A and B are shown apart, each in its own frame.
Chain A
Amino acid sequence: MAWTPPLTWVNGNVPSDTDLNEQIRDNSFFNFNGKAANAIVRDNNGRYTTTSTSFVPVDSTNLSITLTLTTGRILMIFNACSNNVSGVGSMDFLIDGARYMAAGADGFGINNVNGSNVCLTAMKLGLSAGSHTFQPCWRAYGTTYTLEAGNGVAQQDSLIQFAVMEF
């Protein structure tokens, strides 16, 4: 159900069934489960790697979420594990192709620990109502940076989750 801005009632207003359904029923449904959200668990059947020295999408096909927003407020979550021979890399989020932490050359910071969890959580406010696309992105620093994504090998077989929710 779509969100309808609440009316300001004044003395003398007689609400119709349409008004009540829209103002109470539909808006309640929207608040209950009508906000946009999507969660991807990615089994790539193999590792993701990059040597890119500019931020690029990790996987623009399979790790990309497009939501139609109403409130313009979103929470982005990314969980993965860097590989046991991983090089040095850093990560960020793309919102409509623009890097969220663009003011920082290294995004959310550099990861250079092998076999460590890479967990990002970011909240963004003030997006316009309408369609927006979200993607995790990454870069390397002179090495091959690697994320596990279900390669089927013991102790390396972890998956990636990427989720975006409107609140």
Chain B
Amino acid sequence: MQPLGIKIPLRDKVVDPTLLDQEIKAELIRHADIYVDLCVGTSIMQDVLVVWMDERTDAAELPIIEELCVGVLAAHDASKAPVVEPVPTPEETHAKVVELQEEVVNLKSLAAEVADLKVRVAKLEGR
């Protein structure tokens, strides 16, 4: 059995999928714990929000849940979503590792130079 999808038109409203999902779940909890327990998640398709409810959800409850979600959508403000930093690609990660390895080599070389200078200073002071 598949979850039941409640389709709600977005009507060109700009949404943040993650924030909207959190807001819908918060509203479902506020209304009734059982609603959020039955909610398996949300999807955004082309100009449509789908709220997925477990197949055990009572069909008579679906209009109530839909009404709650419509209210959440109306109040949703995508600009309040936290900025998510893109996860680096494997190539970017590799480039960073190479860069850090080069830095380590440079630091080791500097450390050797410092040690050499210390020896030379000690010798000079000894004189």
Write the residues of chain A forming the contact surface with B, with a CB cutoff of 8 angstroms: 44-62, 84-86, 94, 97, 113-115, 139-140, 143-144, 146
20 CB < 8 A contacts A-B? A44-B46, A45-B46, A48-B45, A49-B43, A50-B41, A50-B44, A51-B42, A52-B41, A53-B41, A54-B2, A56-B3, A56-B40, A56-B43, A58-B43, A58-B45, A61-B45, A86-B87, A94-B2, A97-B2, A144-B17
Max chain A C-beta neighbours (<10 A), residue from B3, B5, B43, B54: B43
With the chains together, A146 CA to B50 CA distance in Å?
14
Q: Which residues of A contact B41 (CB under 8 A)?
A: 50-54, 56, 139-140
CB closest residue in chain B, given A143 = B18
B51 shortest CB reach to chain A, Å: 9
Max chain B C-beta neighbours (<10 A), residue from A51, A114, A143: A51
Q: In the complex the two chains form, is A54's CB within 8 Å of B86's CB?
A: no
Q: In the complex the two chains form, is B2's CB within 8 Å of A59's CB?
A: no
CB closest residue in chain A, given B40 = A54
Q: Give the contacting residue for B5; candidates A60, A62, A140; CB below 8 A.
A: A60
With the chains together, A50 CA to B43 CA distance in Å?
4
- How many pairs of A and B residues are in contact by the CB < 8 Å rule? 78
B82 shortest CB reach to chain A, Å: 12
B90 interfacial by beta-carbon distance below 8 Å = yes
Q: In the complex the two chains form, is B18's CB within 8 Å of A51's CB?
A: yes
Q: Give the contacting residue for A85; candidates B5, B42, B87; CB below 8 A.
A: B87
Q: Which residues of B contact A86 (CB under 8 A)?
A: 87
With the chains together, A117 CA to B62 CA distance in Å?
36
